Amino acid sequence: MDFKIGIVEWAFPFPGPYGLKIAADMGIEGMELDFGDYETGFKLSNPVIQKAYLECGREYGVEFPSIALNALNAHGMRNERDTYDGMIAVETIYRGVQAAADMGIPIVQVPSFDDGAIKSEEDFWNTCEKVRLACDLAKRHGIVIAFENVLSAKESLRMIREVGCDNLKIFYDSQNYHLEKGYSQQEILSELKDHICQIHIKDGFNQTISSALLGKGDTGFYKTVQLIKASHCATWLLLENYYNQKPLSLLNADAFSLLEEDIRTVRRAFA
């Protein structure tokens, strides 16, 4: 199985359509796009912006393996439909799935962090309801919905059962489970491998997000790599270290140098 190296747009030091040229020059094969914020009108709902990304993607040979509805972290799916945030979450899902369909993007990521973090049974059921809505909308277009959160493996499998849609998958992250819950990254991966569709790759230590280059944190990065290689659970490996933000930016003022080092690490590890 051949792995592909990508990056998430919100971690790339030069986001936007022209940034795809720089990404391609660095050997990056794909970019997970950020759908945009509710407060600024969801940038990827705009046909002009969609066209700009698609044209640059074709010109520079960069794929779009997924689109993330990161607005759901500010207006969480855990909120009731008739609340302010709940209504925005529903709108985000409707418009985000449509944007993916318009752009031919096969996977829509629906995250649950910050305001969307699942902390109670009520949060769980409200989230399930909206994930089911996303799956129903996406199925019409042959699109997969991938949820990302820090539920335990048992609760993640429970969510899959309760949503009950065959186009629902999991977006695995190589640091978040250890960072937020102290879970073993490797145990989570082993239990969920059959349901994972794409992977965010980052590292860190001392309970700080994206605070180490790959393999230099406390998440057991290389053990996770071996499990990914053995299970063949995903093709796309999407870098999510924040190279132009502290604390990583303290290592080198040139964010692209840090990114290049992580790309070399991934190539060696997954060779």
pLDDT for residue 122? 98
For residue 250, is pLDDT > 80?
A: yes
What confidence score (pLDDT) does residue 239 get? 98
Rounded CA-CA distance 136/81 in Å is 17
Position 171 scores a pLDDT of 98
CB 29 within 8 A of CB 6: yes
Report yes or no: 111 and 71 within 8 Å, Cβ to Cβ. no
Looking at residue 1, what is its pLDDT? 53
Q: What does the pLDDT average to over 73-98?
A: 98
On the question of a cis peptide bond just before residue 13, with omega within 30 degrees of 0, the verdict is: no
Neighbours of 220 (CB within 10 A): 17
* DSSP, res 71: G
* Residue written as token pair 């972290």: 73
- The two tokens of residue 122 are 């009520």
pLDDT in tens, 89-137: 999 999 999 999 999 999 999 999 999 999 999 999 999 999 999 999 9
Contact indicator for 160, 146 with CB cutoff of 8 Å:
no
CA–CA distance, 46 with 215 (Å, rounded to integer):
39
From the number of C-beta atoms within 10 Å of its C-beta (0-12, 13-18, 19+), residue 2 rates as exposed
* pTM beyond 0.75, yes or no: yes
Could you give the CA distance from residue 28 to residue 194 in angstroms, rounded to a whole number?
Answer: 26
pLDDT tens column, 208-220: 999 999 999 999 9
User: What's residue 142's pLDDT?
Assistant: 98
Per-residue model confidence (pLDDT) at position 116: 98
Under the banding of pLDDT at 50, 70 and 90, the label for residue 261 is very high
Q: What number of CA atoms fall less than 13 Å from residue 185's CA on the CB side?
A: 26
173-229 residue pLDDT tens = 999 999 999 999 999 999 999 999 999 999 999 999 999 999 999 999 999 999 999
